[in-house]
Structures are given as structure tokens and as C-alpha cells.
A and B are shown apart, each in its own frame.
Chain A
Amino acid sequence: MVGDAHEKLELELRRGVVVLAVLSRLGTLRYGYELRQSLIAAGMPIEEGTLYPLLRRLESQGVLTSEWRGTQGPNRRYYVLSDAGRDLLARLTTTWHGITKAMDDILGEGGRDDG
């Protein structure tokens, strides 16, 4: 039971940060597969079935722009942050730092309570 709960809660935690992780990697043009490999290498694996729909949703929200390109190989859809996306990334990054600082403090207090 606890094992199940851990898996579900970890998944929820990851879901919460996956948008920020994706945005952080799209300062330059990347296509889906390349982006996924980049996130895996950074320790943030994301399911294929989640990534591609997410990219499209972010594009439809005006956060990303995309284009088909195939100058140095097969034709692929490349994504990059729009101006609004850069602004959003900056704001979410600030929020993230606030959250991590708060969580560090809270978890630190928890550790002291245990002691």
C-alpha cells in the first residue's frame, strides 16, 4: 500500500514540475525526441505519450512556437519558447525557487522535530 502511495505521489510531484522542465529546455529549437533524451539525461524522464501532447498544448496556449524543419536530416517538428513563453519560464522559475526554499525549510524543520 505504502509502495503504491509512493509511486502515485512521486508521479504527481513529477507532473507538477514537468512543464517547467520542458520550458527550461526549449530556449533553443528542439524536436520532441531530442527534448525527451535531453530531459532523461538531466534526470527528468517523461513519458512519450505525455510529452508530445504537452508540446502541442503549450503551443496552442502561445507558450511555444513550432515549425517543420529538415535541413540536416529528416523533416521534424521543432519547438522553441515564444516571447510569452520566456516570460512564463522566468515567472515559473521564480516560483519554483520560492517553493524549493520553502520546502527545504519545512523539511529541515521536520528533521529537527524528529530529532
Chain B
Amino acid sequence: MTADEMIDGYVAEVVLLLPQRQRADVARELRDAIAEEVSDAAETRSARDEAVTAVLGGFGRPADVAARYRAPIVVIDPSDSRRLFTLALGGAALILIGAVLGELIDHVPPQRDLDAAVDQATPWLFGWLGVLAAWFAITAWWRRRRPATAWKPRPMPTDRISRPGRVAALVSYIAGTVALVDPPAMLHLFSGGNAAPAAYDALAYDSDFLAVRGPIVLGLLVLTLALQAVVIVQGRLLPWNHTTDLTLGLILCAVLTWVVSEPVFVTGPADRTAKEIVALLILISLVDLAFSLRRHRVRQALSSR
């Protein structure tokens, strides 16, 4: 390639990235400018090719030069980048975990194929990234159209708790746990003994579940309830509560994942429905744990004055 061809190629790459109406004018000016710089540089170099290479290197990448001709188009605000990155990673993790849980529910070994389930989740991953990109782009566009007025204060995360709220939650958790211990008894209680026999049969636990997984889940649930009761007595969250909540929450999610990987109820429809509800609870719990951890870190930062 000759020196002139290099210059033309460079100029072509720049103007191709510019609006049609600017191209001819910019191409002419840029080519002349490069030519003048080259003739200047050629005085200190043996070959014109070398001078052209040096001058074009000084101009920079054609895409960068072209970008400088116009105000940059900001699709996503730089201030949103970190949040976008966090949501992208968090959402991707949830989608993959959801895919694994779905496969654990849908198939038993040897038909179970977790790798294939993860592969099948790929379109959802791209879909999630697309939704995020579109959402942040629309947000950025809207923000530019209507710049925010003044910053408005929001309630800060604190360690204080609402005792009545916690007590109400604890009571409902205890009721739920009792219901899980003996579902047919609960059905009898609520139906007044008028439920069909098939309904009672549907709520019979699998014997393997009752032997191992059931007691472990029950033990973890009771431990969680006991810790909630302690928090109510304390009247506020202490540092050890965050650590135990996080640890216990992760252990519970792992155990529940193990639970859905094998039969829970004897009948198929009840088993599937229960597992789907448990899978949903796992995903919600993971989101809740992530937000709790974030709030805890903010509280820690605020209290480190």
C-alpha cells in the first residue's frame, strides 16, 4: 500500500462514521491536514511511508477522531454503569439458578442434564441484558429531557426494627411451619373434614423426604424462627444477626435446592406444585439476602464515623 492509499484509507474510515452532509468537507480538510503534517514529518524521516505512519498514529484511531466531530451519544449514563453491572450479574445468577432448579424439578437422574439446562437459559440471559440496557437507556434519555430537580432524602437503613411487624411475621411463619409439618391435618382443619380423600392422599409426604430432608428443613426453619424471636426481644438488629441471617439463609437455600432435587410428596401434581413454590421461594430469598447484605454494608459504612 502506498503512502497516499494509507491516507485515503484512514480518511475513509473517519468519514464513514460521520453524517453524509459532513463527509466530503471533512474528508477534504482532513486529507489536506494529514498531507501537510506528513510533509512536515518527512523532513526528519527517510521514507514517506514512515512519516505517514507516524502522522496517522498521532491522529489516533479513526473511530475516536470521528467521535470527536460530534457530541457523544450517551446511551447509558456513566453514573448508572455500576448499578447496571450489578443488576446484570445478579439477574444472570438468578436466571442460571432458576434454570438449574427447573431442571432439578423437571427431570430425575439419569435424564437430568444441568449443563443443557444452563445452555437453554442463554436466551433468557441475553433477554435480561437487553431489557436492562433498554431500561437504562430510556432512563438516561428521560433524565436528559427532564433533569432532576433537587435531591430528595429517603429513609436511611437502620438497625431498628418494628416489633409489631416482626411479631406478626413470626406468628405467620410459625403457622406456616406447623402447616408444613402435617399438611393433611391443616386441610382437615380448614375444610372441616369435608375435603375429598384424594386431597388428603395428595398431601402425603414421600417417605425418603420424611426420613432425612424433612427433619433437616424443619430444624432450619425452627432455628430461623428462634433467631427471629431473639431479634424481637433485642428490639434491634445486632451485627451477629446479620452474619447468622446471611449464613442461615444461604444454608436454607442450599438445603431447599437439595429438597426439590428429589420427591417431596407422593403424588406427582402435588410434588411438582410444591417444588415450584419452593424454587420460587429460593429465588426470592436470594434476592432478599442480597438486598439485606447491601443494606447492612450501608449501615456499617454510616456507623464507621
Contacts and interface: CB of A to CB of B under 8 A. Distances in A.
A96 interface: no
15 contacts: A32-B33, A48-B33, A48-B34, A49-B58, A49-B65, A52-B26, A52-B33, A53-B65, A53-B66, A53-B68, A53-B69, A56-B69, A57-B70, A77-B28, A77-B29
B167 to A, nearest CB: 54
A48 B59 contact: yes
Interface of B: 22, 25-26, 28-30, 32-34, 36-37, 55, 58-60, 64-66, 68-71
Nearest to A57: B69
Contact of B64 (A32, A49, A57, A74): A49
A49 B69 contact: no
B275 to A, nearest CB: 53
Contacts of B29: 32, 52, 76-77
B60 A33 contact: no
A52 B55 CA distance: 14
A114 interface: no
User: Chain A contact residues (Cβ within 8 angstroms of B): what range?
Assistant: 10 to 19
A98 to B, nearest CB: 26
Nearest to B60: A49
A44 interface: no
| Nearest 6 CB-CB pairings of A with B | A53-B68, A49-B60, A49-B59, A53-B69, A33-B36, A49-B65
A4 interface: no
A38 to B, nearest CB: 14
Contacts of A54: 68
A40 to B, nearest CB: 11
Contacts of A47: 58-60
Given A32-B33, A74-B32, A48 B70 contact: no
B12 to A, nearest CB: 15
Contacts of B22: 56
Contacts of A76: 29, 32
Nearest to A76: B32
A50 interface: yes
Given A48-B34, A56-B69, 14 more contacts: A32-B33, A33-B32, A33-B36, A33-B37, A48-B33, A48-B55, A48-B58, A48-B59, A49-B64, A49-B68, A52-B30, A53-B66, A57-B68, A77-B25
Contacts of B60: 47, 49
A32 B25 CA distance: 14
A75 B33 CA distance: 11
Contacts of B71: 57
